[in-house]
């Protein structure tokens, strides 16, 4: 064999090996791209699922807080109305209408009653009933 034929044979084998290495590298590249694409798709779906769940939790929390605030506002309004009822009741009951007798050293004298004391007692007894009447 001549040197040229040996050199040509080596170059042909090197070229074939090079082409085989390039094909293998392209196959591996394609496989890596597909694997990365599949992993990216899975991560994307996972992120979407978690984001939807977080949004739903936030939505529920906001709804619960809004309902709680609405109930608090309603309760405050009802309490204000009950306060107004007792305020008007007190204004309607003049303290000079209710007298009590005080006996001291054999003398009996009349003194005005403490309306706040009696209204506080009435309030405990009738506040729920008044609220029931006002808010049927």
Using one digit for the tens of pLDDT, what is the confidence trace for 89-109?
777 776 566 666 667 777 777
Q: Model-level pTM greater than 0.85?
A: no
* 3-class secondary structure per residue, 56-94: HHHHHHHHHHHHHHHHHHHHHHHHHHHHHHHHHHHHHCC
- E strand segments, the chain: 99-104, 107-112
What's the average model confidence in pLDDT over 30-39? 96
Instruction: Report the pLDDT value the prediction gives residue 33, as an integer from 0 to 100.
Output: 96
pLDDT band for position 112 (cuts 50, 70, 90): low
Whether the predicted pLDDT of 11 surpasses 80: yes
């Amino acid at each position: 064999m001549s040197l040229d034929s040996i050199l040509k044979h080596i170059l042909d084998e090197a070229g074939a090996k090079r082409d085989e290495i390039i094909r293998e590298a392209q196959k591996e590249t394609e496989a890596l791209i597909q694997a990365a694409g599949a992993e990216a798709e899975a991560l994307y779906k996972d992120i979407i699922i978690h984001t939807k769940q977080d949004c739903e939790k936030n939505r529920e929390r906001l709804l619960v807080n809004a309902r709680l605030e609405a109930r608090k506002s309603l309760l405050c309004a009802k309490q204000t109305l009950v306060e107004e009822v007792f305020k008007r009741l007190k204004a309607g009951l003049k303290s000079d209408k209710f007298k009590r007798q005080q006996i001291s050293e054999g003398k009996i004298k009349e003194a005005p009653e403490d309306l706040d004391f009696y209204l506080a007692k009435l309030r405990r007894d009738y506040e729920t009933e008044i609220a029931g009447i006002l808010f049927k």
